Amino acid sequence: MHKISVVIITFNEENRIRPTLESIKWSDEIIIIDSNSTDRTIDICEEYKNCKVYVQPFLGYGAQKKFAVEKASYDWIFSLDADEVVTNTLRDEIIAILSLPIIATDGFYVPITLVFMNRVFNYGSENKFPHLRLFNKNKGDFNTLKLHESVKVEGTLTKLRNEILHYSYTDIHHYFNKFNEYSSIYKHEAIKKGMKVGKFRPMLRFPFEFFRQYFVRCNFLNGYPGFVWSLFSAFYVFVKYNKLYESYLK
């Protein structure tokens, strides 16, 4: 059986890391790269015998995850976020792949489903959206983007059937903390690239983005949480463009 390293980056995750760790107890190794948490995150992680914790000041999402891969002992890497839970069916599917004498595929897209306001999004683009999370590190690795990092694999790819559940936000307060962080990172990266935006772009994008999220992407089928998600997603686009616009007024 091929061995596997699960890699996770953390920062103050004591309220949600345990379900994540419980869902991957079957793995051969769990690599935690912690960005100097001030809560019990590290203590909780160290309760698990197959868990190795390294402290590394935050380098940006891509570089931090790339650092985690470097610390992994085994060739097969399964990248997981601290707010994600591996379903039992996905666990069984991965174990079956690792049990093969030869794994002909170099990377696997894993479906990820959002859980927002205690609602599993069974419809729309947040339902089983594929992300490249399981890969052979001899054939691929993370890029070093500070936001919207991804894995690049030079080889064959396929998609798994079973999903990860993404408990992305503990509450709306937490949502807007991440909202502010991500929109500010977007602004700084856009400035580096020389991007500019006028005042009419955010005005026009806000209603367009809401229509796209709520109707085109079928979030109306996800009930009231689908409406809130669509509204917040549109507002995120509005805010990130206004932060960029504001930077050129100073």
Query: How does pLDDT run along the chain (250 residues), one tens digit per residue?
Result: 899 999 999 999 999 999 999 999 999 999 999 999 999 999 999 999 999 999 999 999 999 999 999 999 999 999 999 999 999 999 999 999 999 999 999 999 999 999 999 999 999 999 999 999 999 999 999 999 988 899 999 999 999 999 999 998 989 999 999 999 999 999 999 999 999 999 999 999 999 999 999 999 999 999 999 999 999 999 999 999 999 999 988 7
Please name which of 12, 1, 2, 8 lies closest in space to residue 177, comparing C-alpha atoms: 12
Q: Quote the pLDDT of residue 186.
A: 95
SS3 at position 160 = coil
Residue 101, number of CB atoms within 10 A of its CB:
6
Asked if residues 148 and 240 have their Cβ atoms less than 8 Å apart, the reply is no
Place of tokens 């991804």: 150
SS3 at position 207 = helix
Asked if residues 17 and 41 have their Cβ atoms less than 8 Å apart, the reply is yes
User: Which superfamily, per CATH, for 4-166?
Assistant: Spore Coat Polysaccharide Biosynthesis Protein SpsA; Chain A (3.90.550.10)
Q: Quote the pLDDT of residue 122.
A: 97
Query: What Å distances lie between residue 216 and 181, 221, 237, CA to CA?
Result: 27, 11, 17
Asked if residues 131 and 109 have their Cβ atoms less than 8 Å apart, the reply is yes
Please name which of 245, 237, 176, 240 lies closest in space to residue 207, comparing C-alpha atoms: 237
SS3 at position 244 = helix
Q: Quote the pLDDT of residue 66.
A: 98
pTM passes above 0.85: yes
Residue 191: in which H helix or E strand, if any? helix 172-192
CB half-sphere exposure, 108, CA atoms < 13 A: 22
* Strand 119-120, strand 107-116: pairing: antiparallel
- Which two structure tokens, joined as six digits, stand for 183? 């929109």
Residue 182, number of CB atoms within 10 A of its CB:
16
The domain locations on the chain are 4-166, 172-247
Asked if residues 227 and 220 have their Cβ atoms less than 8 Å apart, the reply is yes
Q: Quote the pLDDT of residue 23.
A: 98
Q: Quote the pLDDT of residue 148.
A: 86
CA 112 from centre of chain? 9
Query: What Å distances lie between residue 103 and 99, 107, 137, CA to CA?
Result: 9, 10, 13
Q: Quote the pLDDT of residue 115.
A: 98
